[in-house]
Amino acid sequence: MQFTAAQIASLIQGNIEGDPNVSVGGFGKIEEAKSGELSFLANPKYEDYLYITGASIIIINQHQQLKTPIGATLIRVEDAYSAFAILLKTYEEYKSQMLTGIQQPSFIHETATVGEQVFVGAFAYIGEKAIVGNGTKIHPGVYIGAGVKIGSNSVLHPGVKIYHECVIGDQVIIHANTVIGSDGFGFAPQADGTLKKVPQIGNVVIENQVEIGANTTIDRATIGSTRICSGAKLDNLLQIAHNVEIGNNTVIAAQTGISGSTKIGKQVMIGGQAGIVGHIQIADGTKINAQSGVSKSIKTPNTAVTGSPAYDYTAALRSQAVARNLPQLEKRIQELEKRIEELSKSGKSE
């Protein structure tokens, strides 16, 4: 499908420089784009490609200065990256709207409720008394257990598994092979050394506009709910244990593990491969560096930590600087010790 520069500018509230009627039918990176494709420039490192790209339309920042004239039509916006993201989202939604109907073979229990404009891919399973909201897309191989509730306009990619009684909100995206609602890791040590399983009778609640990456696991609560609040964005390969709560608009990068009953605040940023122990609290706005090990609560909002065990980010940088200087410091100490010894011998001789 073709879109003109005028149509695109209207969608992202941009100003056109060039031919408003030029059209594009696809997207391309600025260093590789061809005629008939749309690209964008947000990172100054790629500015040189602005003058040699084959793209027909380029989105750039409002204050981008041009060194030489450009043949492509430009659309100037306040934030080129955000504007491009809006276009990609619109494109994805357009493609998604074309997916409707129920493919066969698939299974929908007679007591399940499926809304309008829903897509159910082949080999999907929708269990007893499950509810699927309007416009939701369930791709092939998805399992939706008994009593699950899924809101409107959500997307479950191939192989997603939603265990019984879990709740998924509106406009949620869950990527391939993620498991929501598997049992929390709860075992009671017995006198004879064996471990007795503690039944996990809670659920998982995923609120609105959450995105969860591929192969992530979110355990159901022992009692109550494991909760992912609205706007949170979770990467691939995360382990989120039972009764964890993750606040609004928090982002967590890949391979992070969060132990049971930990409460993470709003707008927290957690780098990849971080580890967080259980039963602690992370204050709003906290930034946790990649590969950090958080072993105690962070109670002050907007704190930045790093290391294992994690502690104040600025103090950690100072410690690293001191550590790098240790060989020189050792040499100076040895020189001072030698000088003191020489002075001591000189004093005794007098």
**Residue 96 clears pLDDT 90, i.e. is over it:** no
**Residue 347 clears pLDDT 80, i.e. is over it:** no
Confidence label for 98 from pLDDT (cuts 50, 70 and 90): confident
57-65, long-range: CB < 8 A, 24+ apart: 57/5, 57/8, 57/22, 57/24, 58/30, 59/8, 59/12, 59/14, 59/83, 59/84, 59/87, 62/15
Closest CA to 126 of 112, 115, 116, 139: 112
Q: Residue range 213-222: average pLDDT? A: 98
Please give the pLDDT value at position 90. Answer: 86
Q: Tell me how far apart the alpha carbons of residues 341 and 123 are, in angstroms, rounded to a whole number.
A: 83
Please provide the average confidence, as pLDDT, over all residues in the chain: 94
Spacing of C-alpha 66 from chain mean position: 34
Region 3-97: CATH code: 3.40.1390.10
Amino acid type, 170: D
Please give the pLDDT value at position 16. Answer: 97
Confidence label for 349 from pLDDT (cuts 50, 70 and 90): low
Burial class of residue 316 (count of CB atoms within 10 Å of its CB; 0-12, 13-18, 19+): middle
Show the DSSP H helices in 22-157 as ranges.
Answer: 80-97
Q: Are 296 and 312 in contact (CB under 8 A)?
A: no
Read off the pLDDT of residues 132-182 as tens digits, 9 standing for 90 and up: 999 999 999 999 999 999 999 999 999 999 999 999 999 999 999 999 999
Closest CA to 305 of 331, 271, 338: 271
Please give the pLDDT value at position 201. Answer: 97
Please give the pLDDT value at position 348. Answer: 61
Tell me, yes or no, if the two domains 3-97 and 101-314 fold the same way. Answer: no
Please give the pLDDT value at position 150. Answer: 98
The DSSP-derived string for 299-334 is -STT-EEETTTTEEHHHHHHHHHHHHTHHHHHHHHH
Confidence label for 305 from pLDDT (cuts 50, 70 and 90): very high
Please give the pLDDT value at position 214. Answer: 98
Provide the token pair at 172: 């949620």
Domain spans of the chain, in order of start? 3-97, 101-314, 318-349
Q: Tell me how far apart the alpha carbons of residues 137 and 58 are, in angstroms, rounded to a whole number.
A: 32
- The catalytic residue among 139, 157, 175, 242 is 242
The DSSP-derived string for 128-141 is TT-EE-TT-EE-TT
On the CB side of 239, how many CA atoms lie within 13 Å of its CA? 15
In the annotation, is 242 catalytic? yes
Considering the domain delimited by 101-314, tell me its CATH architecture: 3 Solenoid (2.160)
Q: Residue range 248-264: average pLDDT? A: 98
